[in-house]
Amino acid sequence: MKKVLIISYYWPPSGGSGVQRWLKFAKYLPKFNWKPVIYTPENPYFDLMDNSLIAEIPSEVEVVKTKIWEPYYLKDKIFGKSKNSQTSGLINNTFTVKNYFFNWIRGNFFVPDPKIFWVKKSIKFLLKYINENNIEYVVSTGPPHSMHLIALGLKKKNKNLKWIADFRDPWSKLDLLDNFHLSYFAKNKNKLLEKNVLFKANLILTVSEKWKNDFKKLGANNVKVITNGYDDSDFTNYTSKIPNEKFVIGHYGLINHLRNPKNFWKALDEICLENKDFSKKLEIHLSGNIDKNIIKEISNYSAINSKVKILGYLSHKEVIDAYTNTSLLLVLLFNSKSGLGNHPAKLFECIACKKQFFVFGPENSDTQKLLNKTKIGEYLLYSDNIVHIKEKIIKAYNNQSVNYKFSNDFSREKLTLNLADTLNKM
């Protein structure tokens, strides 16, 4: 097998969305004659753990680790560890002097991110490892975008390396950066580092056409899209059920200030006040990292506050199980410019589990175009009026069966074949 070095901060037992894309690629690459070598921190700083994902790592995959130091450790030692850390993707948007200070420090002192202290050490370690193991192909995946800086350093030292920089999210164009109150210097430094990566990498990989075009506008010459997807093996024992006595609306993942369907909560509350049967059957299941301000907002609606079940963090396997007994699934894109290219893995899992689902996002997004083309799912705008949203909810409530032509274009195995072909052509 040909070897490919994959530099990823997130790797099992890390949980959450950041780990899924390259875990699944690594799972299927050996089938197409590529041996993945994963380079990841020995002691990463993350909150979400999913030990069930370890079983998905095939025996052919080699995992190499070195220790990392992150400033979060120092912050926790001085101030104590907060329940919702920024490393989980949940930025505390409540204005306090303390939150503003931490966000400002994060954005202006640690560019592009707090993993920057791992870069020099990793370059030195990997240069030796690459030479000793005859590795010619390197993949870096971000965020955190410091992973790209490691690969950039390797490329500068060894110009024969063939390097793919994979962007699961944008870099300088990511709206979440606004929460870090970046100075002019920090903004420019992010842009400069990003530009170096876009120019030096042999190929830029990303998940949507919108983001592909954005990277081209920033100067990247060679950009390819391989979307996220679903893994058939996750659905081997899956059976789609329609709960008879309940109407369960489920969202399993991050909800923050950029992913909050305010009018949806209000529409549900009004329907409950108008329709006793609907009110009796409704349950709202929420799992994962949820901004406490959003929980408080929902609790202010008298008719639905008792319908909400906060499930906490669920492993990926538990999320698949939860799909089974959910009547209507929610997918929440960024309510921002970044949302125009947001193609989360959860979207494709909703397609795979053959359930009704609503996607909330901005107008003219890639996801909206996909759903319009395939006639699968219901796309709603965050700005849609409450009357329109109520009509869609009632329609879903009255007709819960789905009947659409299923496509395997987004299966993880098929997407990995595309990746393997890309590597072969480099």
CA distances for 336 relative to 191, 362, 384, angstroms: 20, 7, 15
Question: In the chain, where are the structural domains located?
Answer: 2-229+411-425, 232-398
Mean pLDDT of 242-269: 92
Distant-in-sequence, close-in-space partners of 142: CB < 8 Å, separation ≥ 6: 9, 148, 165, 166, 167, 168, 169, 171
Question: Using CA atoms, how far apart are residues 322 and 339, in angstroms rounded to an integer?
Answer: 25
Whether residue 403 is predicted with pLDDT greater than 80 in this model: the reply is: no
80 against 339, higher pLDDT: 339
92: pLDDT confidence band, cut at 50, 70 and 90?
Answer: low
Is residue 249 within 8 Å of 283, Cβ to Cβ?
yes
Question: Using CA atoms, how far apart are residues 2 and 349, in angstroms rounded to an integer?
Answer: 30
State both tokens at 65: 């680790």
pLDDT at 83: 53
Whether residue 84 is predicted with pLDDT greater than 60 in this model: the reply is: no
* Superfamily for the 232-398 domain: Glycogen Phosphorylase B; (3.40.50.2000)
Express each pLDDT in 118-140 by its tens digit: 999 999 999 999 999 999 999 99
CATH fold for domain 2-229+411-425: Rossmann fold (3.40.50)
pLDDT at 402: 74
The mean predicted confidence, pLDDT, of the chain is: 92
264: pLDDT confidence band, cut at 50, 70 and 90?
Answer: very high
Question: Using CA atoms, how far apart are residues 361 and 368, in angstroms rounded to an integer?
Answer: 8
Express each pLDDT in 242-254 by its tens digit: 777 899 999 999 8
Is residue 394 within 8 Å of 408, Cβ to Cβ?
no
Whether residue 302 is predicted with pLDDT greater than 50 in this model: the reply is: yes
Give the residue among 127, 80, 121 at the shortest CA–CA distance from 102.
80
pLDDT at 57: 94
pLDDT at 63: 98
Question: Using CA atoms, how far apart are residues 48 and 15, in angstroms rounded to an integer?
Answer: 5
Per the document, the length of the chain is 426
Express each pLDDT in 304-334 by its tens digit: 999 999 999 899 999 999 999 999 999 999 9
Is residue 130 within 8 Å of 151, Cβ to Cβ?
no
Is residue 92 within 8 Å of 151, Cβ to Cβ?
no
Helices (H) and strands (E) in the chain, counts: 15, 13
| SS3 state at 60 | coil
Question: Please, what sign has the CA dihedral across residues 372, 378, 384, 386?
Answer: positive
Distant-in-sequence, close-in-space partners of 93: CB < 8 Å, separation ≥ 6: 99, 179, 256, 257, 291, 293
Is residue 401 within 8 Å of 251, Cβ to Cβ?
no
The DSSP code for 168 is S
The per-residue DSSP string of 273-303 comes to: HH-HHHHHHEEEEEES-B-HHHHHHHHT-TT
Whether residue 407 is predicted with pLDDT greater than 80 in this model: the reply is: no
94: pLDDT confidence band, cut at 50, 70 and 90?
Answer: low
Place of tokens 């993949």: 139
Global pTM reads 0.93
Question: Please, what sign has the CA dihedral across residues 110, 108, 17, 312?
Answer: positive
Q: For the chain, report the end-to-end CA distance as a whole number of angstroms.
A: 16
Express each pLDDT in 136-165 by its tens digit: 999 999 999 999 999 999 999 999 999 999
Mean pLDDT of 385-392: 97
Whether residue 89 is predicted with pLDDT greater than 60 in this model: the reply is: no
314 phi-psi bin (left φ>0, alpha ψ -120 to 50, beta other)? beta
Alpha helix positions (H), 230-380:
262-274, 276-281, 292-299, 316-324, 345-352, 366-374
% of the chain exceeding 70 in pLDDT:
94
Whether residue 93 is predicted with pLDDT greater than 60 in this model: the reply is: no
% of the chain exceeding 90 in pLDDT:
77
Place of tokens 């949302």: 339
Question: Using CA atoms, how far apart are residues 58 and 40, in angstroms rounded to an integer?
Answer: 16
Whether residue 86 is predicted with pLDDT greater than 60 in this model: the reply is: no
Is residue 214 within 8 Å of 371, Cβ to Cβ?
no
Question: Using CA atoms, how far apart are residues 276 and 290, in angstroms rounded to an integer?
Answer: 28
Give the residue among 20, 424, 1 at the shortest CA–CA distance from 228.
20
Express each pLDDT in 26-61 by its tens digit: 999 999 999 999 999 999 987 788 999 999 999 999
Mean pLDDT of 231-251: 87
Whether residue 2 is predicted with pLDDT greater than 50 in this model: the reply is: yes
Give the residue among 223, 224, 208, 216 at the shortest CA–CA distance from 366.
208
Is residue 247 within 8 Å of 327, Cβ to Cβ?
yes
Mean pLDDT of 63-90: 69
